[in-house]
């Protein structure tokens, strides 16, 4: 066994070179300037660290999947951390916590984060991949806008706003709006765990459509699940000129009644012996709306199970949706099922960025942290998608989206040596650094 000789060096080495990419993206926004100019009564007469430095410092932590305030202490004397993120002075953990609490009390921070997140995506021309709908004359491209609630488990804590969620755990129930098949977050909102999914959703839907239209000029397709079966949501989509697929809440409707309707109107599809499937649509005027809306349905009747067991009483199940699309019911239902991809986006926010258990006990501060986390998520997604444009990455498996965890592990936590010479700053990577070519290409792409 070889024994190593351990020595301390005066060279500037870093294990998180990818923060240079994050800082480059942030430099094209006005996030630092707008937060620095934000007026906070508690610190008006006290000179100190700029608000912009505090925000950039915390984003630097989140980009490494660290959300606890104490993690900032490891970077206070790190020259690369400050240089990469454009920070004049890195705050202490106490200052970071207190300043975020103070910023959260203002009313302007939310629009700053959401505006600048959209501006970064626009500036770097983020690819927003639409869905393609078949049509008799030509294919139609429409961008999905998936709106969904995902419970954040914060059990065994006394944080403000923690209550029982519909998943049976104690925590929060934030709502998210994801744009495109890439899943960029255009809006979010932290909610108490027991908050009904429809509470405040109309305003959130309007805000999400507003930001989405700033990013893409293609038509939008809002997809929402059964908890948002509301005439108000349908009316908002119609008013904002956005397409929609909203799953209906069956409430007390009986499957047998839907089977009787289907047998009268539609031809059945015999998928196998003992299983009949009906697809159809009707025009219905929802309560609270002055116009009819298309309602599609799928009814399944089973008299024989897949294993061959004959049923004494047939099993009948159905599902139905509100939609503005003219396509066949089976195509629309398939489009809605793709809405389940948003669960992957929830997972990346919760686990890859470690956002599920918030670091603060104050609700408003955690709401601010959630928004900063979604901004960081967008930056990392932008970096990950840029790596897929050519095949120079060591990972050869073809994927449509680069997972946030993969971006953090392979690009953000990339080791290098920072050298200052002749008023120039150079990052030197190892001779066998497998991600160097990809890193350099992405950096040059964002630079130009």
- Domain residue limits, the chain: 12-118+368-380+390-447, 122-248+337-352, 255-324
Whether the per-residue pLDDT at 44 is higher than 60: the answer is: no
Torsion-angle region of 269 (φ positive above 0: left; ψ -120 to 50: alpha; else: beta)? beta
Pairing of strands 275-284, 293-304: antiparallel
- Confidence (pLDDT) at 47: 57
Between 47-51, 221-225, 335-339, 412-416, the lowest mean confidence (pLDDT) is in 47-51
Choice among 181-185, 281-285, 365-369 with the minimum mean pLDDT: 281-285
The alpha carbon dihedral of 345, 348, 354, 357 has a sign of positive
What is the per-residue burial (b if ≥16 Cβ within 10 Å, else e) of 267-279? eeeeeeebbbbbb
Q: Closest Cα partner for 429 from 443, 419, 415, 440? A: 415
Task: State the Cα–Cα distance between residues 30 and 395, nearest whole angstrom.
Answer: 34
CA dihedral (114, 118, 119, 121) positive or negative: positive
- What is the CATH T-level fold of the domain 122-248+337-352, as seen in this structure? Transposase Inhibitor Protein From Tn5; Chain A, domain 1 (3.90.350)
Alpha carbon distance 181, 417 (integer Å): 37
Which pLDDT value is given to residue 354? 94
Split at pLDDT 50, 70, 90, the class of 370 is: very high
| Spatial distance between the Cα atoms of 40 and 61, rounded to a whole number of angstroms | 23
Q: Is the pLDDT of residue 318 over 60?
A: yes
pLDDT of residue 261: 87
Q: How far is CA 122 from CA 32, 118, 141, 183, 215, in A?
A: 18, 6, 19, 15, 6
Mean pLDDT in residue range 158-179: 95
**Residue 298 contacts by C-beta under 8 Å, 6 or more apart in sequence?**
277, 278, 279, 318, 319, 320, 329, 330, 333
For every residue of 130-176, DSSP letters joined together read PEEE--SSS-EEEEEEEEEE--EE-TT---TT-EE-TTSSEEE--EE
> What is the pLDDT of the chain when averaged over all its residues?
93
* Overall pTM > 0.85: yes
**182, 129 Cβ separation under 8 angstroms:** yes
Task: Pick 271 or 89 by higher pLDDT.
Answer: 89
- Reported as a pLDDT band with limits 50, 70 and 90, residue 43 is low
* 42 pLDDT tier (thresholds 50, 70, 90): low
């Amino acid at each position: 066994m070889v024994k190593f000789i351990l020595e301390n060096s005066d060279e500037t080495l870093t294990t998180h070179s990818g923060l240079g990419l994050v800082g480059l993206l942030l430099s094209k926004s006005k996030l630092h300037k707008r937060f620095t100019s934000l007026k906070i009564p508690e610190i008006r007469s006290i000179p100190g660290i700029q608000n912009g430095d505090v925000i950039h410092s915390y984003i630097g932590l989140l980009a490494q999947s660290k959300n606890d305030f104490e993690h900032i202490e490891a970077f206070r004397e790190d020259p690369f951390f400050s240089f990469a993120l454009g920070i004049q002075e890195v705050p202490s953990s106490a200052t970071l916590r207190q300043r975020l609490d103070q910023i959260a009390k203002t009313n302007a921070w939310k629009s700053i984060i959401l505006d600048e997140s959209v501006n970064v995506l626009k500036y770097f021309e983020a690819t927003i991949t639409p869905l393609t709908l078949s049509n008799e004359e030509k294919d139609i491209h429409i961008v999905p806008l998936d709106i969904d609630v995902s419970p954040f488990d914060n059990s065994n804590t006394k944080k403000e706003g923690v209550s029982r969620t519909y998943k049976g755990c104690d925590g929060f129930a934030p709502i998210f709006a994801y744009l495109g098949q890439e899943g960029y977050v255009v809006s979010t909102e932290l909610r108490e765990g027991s908050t009904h999914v429809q509470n405040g959703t109309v305003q959130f839907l309007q805000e999400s459509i507003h930001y989405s239209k700033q990013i893409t000029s293609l038509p939008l397709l809002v997809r929402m699940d059964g908890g948002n079966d509301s005439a108000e949501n349908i009316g908002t989509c119609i008013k904002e000129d956005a397409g929609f697929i909203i799953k209906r809440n069956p409430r007390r409707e009986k499957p047998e009644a839907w089977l009787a309707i289907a047998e009268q109107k539609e031809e059945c599809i015999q998928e196998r012996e003992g299983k009949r499937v009906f697809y159809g649509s009707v025009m219905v005027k929802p309560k609270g709306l002055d116009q009819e809306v298309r309602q599609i349905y799928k009814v399944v009747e089973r008299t024989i199970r897949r294993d061959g067991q004959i049923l004494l009483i047939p099993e009948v199940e159905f599902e139905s949706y509100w939609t503005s699309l003219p396509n066949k019911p089976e195509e629309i239902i398939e489009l809605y099922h793709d809405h389940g991809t948003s669960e992957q986006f929830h997972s990346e926010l919760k686990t890859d960025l470690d956002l599920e258990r918030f670091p603060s006990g104050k609700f408003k501060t955690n709401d601010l942290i959630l928004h900063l986390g979604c901004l960081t998520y967008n930056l990392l997604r932008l970096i990950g998608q840029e790596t897929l444009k050519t095949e120079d990455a060591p990972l050869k498996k073809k994927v449509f989206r680069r997972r946030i965890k993969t971006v953090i592990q392979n690009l953000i936590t990339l080791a290098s040596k920072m050298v200052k010479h002749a008023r120039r700053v150079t990052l030197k990577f190892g001779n066998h650094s497998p991600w160097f070519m990809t890193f350099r290409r992405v950096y040059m792409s964002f630079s130009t």
